[in-house]
Amino acid sequence: MNILIIGAAGMVGRKLTAALLQRGTMRGEAITSMTLVDIVAPDVLEGSSIPVAALAADISRPEAAQELIVTRPDVVFHLAAIVSGEAELDFEKGYAINLDGTRYLYEAIRQASSGGAYCPRLVFTSSIAVFGAPFPDKISDEFFETPRTSYGTQKAICELLLADYSRRGFLDGVGIRLPTICIRPGRPNKAASGFFSSILREPLVGKEAVLPVEESARHWHASPRAAVSFLLHAAEMDTAVLGNRRNLNMPGLSATVGEQIEALRRVAGERAVALIRREPDPMIIDMVEGWPKNFDASRAEALGFAAETSFDEIIQIHIEDELGGDLPQ
Amino acid sequence: MNILIIGAAGMVGRKLTAALLQRGTMRGEAITSMTLVDIVAPDVLEGSSIPVAALAADISRPEAAQELIVTRPDVVFHLAAIVSGEAELDFEKGYAINLDGTRYLYEAIRQASSGGAYCPRLVFTSSIAVFGAPFPDKISDEFFETPRTSYGTQKAICELLLADYSRRGFLDGVGIRLPTICIRPGRPNKAASGFFSSILREPLVGKEAVLPVEESARHWHASPRAAVSFLLHAAEMDTAVLGNRRNLNMPGLSATVGEQIEALRRVAGERAVALIRREPDPMIIDMVEGWPKNFDASRAEALGFAAETSFDEIIQIHIEDELGGDLPQ
């Protein structure tokens, strides 16, 4: 079992790599080699018994994907993308990487397919950004895609291509629309959605965090651990049941900021909650208003995908996976 | 008012050209020039007072669109595509013309846009092939796109690009999903949907026609005249009301083959109906089963698009527009 991870240096990519190395198997077979790719070569953990190669590649070059496919990976995780804000600022770069880069990958696999002799599982990370307001209370599995960003447009197009290349037998694709990942580890960043994580992550370690929206703001969340479980399940599931509908809303937790804060209070006490500073930001309030708030992800749930059911659980996962299992005293 | 029609040699393109030449105006302004483009140069009607240029162009060449945009047309009708069957047989050609050709056109306009100084109305003909079975009884304006052909995939992608390029202010796009055009004039062709037209068109002139499906088969129709009216309205409508949802299900008439035949009986009598020969074809029965049967096109209707409400009317339009107003005795 030979596995290729494109976009392996990102937060989810690193956690996915660690999970695969720990399991050592995929679809009941031993993992015999892994290739980690990103725009800069990803770090390789020492001491793994599985051979791991790390490569730097610019997927917006047509030849890059051909080179990555030479070893005929059995499973390809395609996580690479430039983020929403950058794709909005740099129209050409967004299309070059998020659309053309993905299409070159599909094409390289098609050209290697030799009439179906080679047909790898391809797990593609899409995004809830494929949807654009106005929304129903819950976005169903059959709601239409009218993205309001170039990033969302690029993801929606790659979903369509994934389904067509799968239907034609060139690859065996599963597209998963990830919820916002919470609690995202690391430092505060400038992403407009960053506060959903930072209002929990920072107070948990005694630091201040800024809340730019009202407590009534609702959003759709899943933990990094859930994201990795989605990717692994998408790689292992039986795709015959998907028919031609290869792209799935992932399960998640719909919660208001107020509910996030109540969970923080239960887990870490009043002292942590007091570290949240309210600084309403009209621009962020407006952006968040346009984002999906809730989904009916019945189809993915029926197919065995599962996410957290409370924010207490999401916070607990962060404490276990990022803080060594205990809150600092 | 300078108008460019790409795909002008096709049946709808020719009727659109004739309608524009007859009107002489568009959006309240005199049409001062028209350019007709297709893979072979379209015929130009003699005697028009409007200068009409006819060009041959292969839109799968990146430079082709740049050359077509040099005169900065105010309205672009993009009707060019290779059909469903051919796009399914020739994967690369389908993507090269239906996807890349359209994207080159959008890109040429973007590169000419000079920060919004040039922003033409672009009317794109999409298709109900963007939808894939299973369907609800009526396909709503918010139903998701899961095409079951490469052609439908290519159209769905061009819709997404049209919306994004419009949102960014590079062009002012309207995408219209045409019903099956009925009664399509001309000779019987090999399209699987051809019988919907031929079972009316041939008996109206005393010829036999073959019906390969059951009378209970239901489908979604509009006349060639309605198709031209959709294109003209899409070129003239106020697009501010569309928001980011630039692609519309066009109105149509949902009818069974039995209802088509009853209309034929009312308009042309039993003698015409007797010319329909039933030859069930399992492959066509199966294909038609997977096609959309009915739509709720409320949004387009509210925006002023209108189609026929009976098959009697559709047949009458064929008699007026193709048979000189009378049935042959």
CATH of the domain at B235: 3.40.50.720
B16-39 per-position pLDDT tens digit: 999 999 999 999 999 999 999 999
Out of A104, A106, A151, A165, which one is annotated catalytic? A151
Strand B33-38, strand B209-211: pairing: unpaired
What pLDDT was estimated at residue B328? Answer: 77
The distance of A81 to chain B (nearest Cα, Å) reads 18
* Contact state of A160 with B153 under an 8 Å Cβ cutoff: yes
Cβ separation of B148 and A167 shorter than 8 Å?
yes
Residue A47 has pLDDT above 80, yes or no: no
Partner-chain residue, chosen from A132, A143, A168, that has the shortest CB–CB distance to B144: A143
Residue-range definition of the domain harbouring residue B45: 2-178+224-249
Nearest Cβ partner for A146 among B150, B157, B163? B163
A160, B147: Cβ pair inside 8 Å? yes
pLDDT in tens, B245-288: 999 999 999 999 999 999 999 999 999 999 999 999 998 998 89
pLDDT score of B191 more than 80: no
pLDDT at A190 over 80: no
Quick one: pLDDT at residue B46?
Answer: 78
pLDDT number for residue B40: 96
For A136, the closest chain B residue by CA position comes to B142
Q: Residue A37: which of A92, A108, A129 has the closest Cα?
A: A108
Domain count, chain B: 1
- The answer to whether B39 touches B56, Cβ cutoff 8 Å, is yes
Q: Best residue in B113, B142, B168 to probe A by mutation, most A CBs within 10 Å? A: B142
Model pLDDT for residues A191-237, shown as the tens digit of each residue: 789 999 999 999 999 999 999 999 999 999 999 999 999 999 999 99
Angle at B174 between CA A92 and CA B73, to 5 degrees: 75
In angstroms, the separation between the Cα of residue B203 and the nearest Cα of chain A is: 39
Q: In chain B, which residues have their Cβ closer than 8 Å to the Cβ of A167?
A: 148
Give the CB-side neighbour count of residue A13, counting CA atoms within 13 A.
Answer: 27
Residue of B nearest to A162 (CA): B153
Per-residue pLDDT, A79: 98
Domain assignment present for residue B217? The answer is no
Mean pLDDT for chain B? 95
Instruction: Report the predicted TM-score, pTM, of the whole model to 2 decimal places.
Output: 0.96
pLDDT tens across A154-176, in order? Answer: 999 999 999 999 999 999 999 99
pLDDT at A312: 98
When pLDDT is averaged across residues A49-63 and rounded to a whole number, the result is 96
- Which helix (H) or strand (E) segment holds residue B211: the answer is strand B209-211
Q: Between A329 and B7, whose confidence is greater? A: B7
pLDDT: which is higher, B217 or A84: B217
Query: Is residue B93 domain-resident?
Result: yes
* A161 vs B contacts (CB less than 8 Å): 153, 157
The pLDDT value recorded for residue A92 is 97
Determine, for residues A244 and B132 on separate chains, whether the beta-carbon distance falls below 8 Å. yes
Structure confidence at residue A328 (pLDDT) = 77
Q: Is residue A312 in a domain?
A: no
Report the pLDDT averaged over residues B59-75: 97
Per-residue pLDDT for B189 more than 90? no
pLDDT at A116: 84
- Residue B240 pLDDT more than 80? yes
pLDDT-derived band at A46 (thresholds 50, 70, 90) equals: confident
Question: Among partner residues B150, B161, B245, which is closest to A164 by beta-carbon distance?
Answer: B150
* Nearest chain A residue (CA) to B158: A157
Task: With respect to residue B285, please indicate whether it lies within any of the assigned structural domains.
Answer: no
| Reported confidence tier of residue A85, pLDDT bands at 50, 70, 90 | confident
% of chain A at pLDDT higher than 90 = 91
Can B151 be counted among the known catalytic residues? yes
- Inform me whether the C-beta atom of residue B142 falls under 8 Å from chain A C-beta atoms: yes
Is B297 domain-assigned? no
- Give the pLDDT of residue B63: 96
**Structural domain includes residue A255:** no
d(CA B281, CA B210): 10
Instruction: Tell which of A157, A244, A296 to mutate to test the B interface (max B CBs under 10 Å).
Output: A157
How is residue B73 written in tokens? 């047309």
Determine the distance in angstroms separating the CA of A19 from the nearest CA of chain B, rounded to an integer. 32
Contact call for B144 and A148, based on CB within 8 A: no
Q: What is the mean pLDDT of residues A64-70?
A: 97
Residues of chain B with C-beta less than 8 angstroms from the C-beta of A164: 147, 150, 153
CB-closest option in B143, B156, B167 to A160: B156
CB atoms B156 and A153 under 8 Å: no
Domain-embedded: residue A276? no
**Catalytic residue from among B95, B104, B118, B151:** B151
Sign of the CA dihedral with B140 first, then B143, B149, and B151 last: positive
Residue B327 pLDDT class (50, 70, 90 cuts): confident
Write the CB contacts of A22 (distance below 8 Å, at least 6 apart in sequence): none
First to last CA, chain B: 44
Chain B residues in contact with A146 (beta carbon < 8 A)? 163, 244-245
Cβ B160–A156 below 8 Å, yes or no? yes
Query: Using CA atoms, how far apart are residues B230 and A270, in angstroms rounded to an integer?
Result: 62
Instruction: Establish if A96 touches chain B: CB-CB under 8 angstroms.
Output: no
Q: What pLDDT digit, counting tens, does each position of B93-133 carry?
A: 999 999 999 999 999 999 999 888 999 999 999 999 999 99
Provide the pLDDT for residue A75. Answer: 98
Contact status of A249 with chain B (Cβ, < 8 Å)? no
Whether the per-residue pLDDT at A251 is higher than 80: the answer is: yes
**Residue at B43 is within a domain:** yes
Spell out a b/e string for A298-320, using b for 16 or more CB atoms within 10 Å of the CB, else e: ebbeebebebbeebebbbbbbbe
| Nearest of A262, A260, A81 to residue A177 by alpha carbon | A81
Q: Is the pLDDT of residue B14 over 90?
A: yes
pLDDT over threshold 90, residue B303: yes
- Whether the per-residue pLDDT at A329 is higher than 80: the answer is no
The pLDDT of residue B290 is 87
Write down the pLDDT at residue A114.
Answer: 86
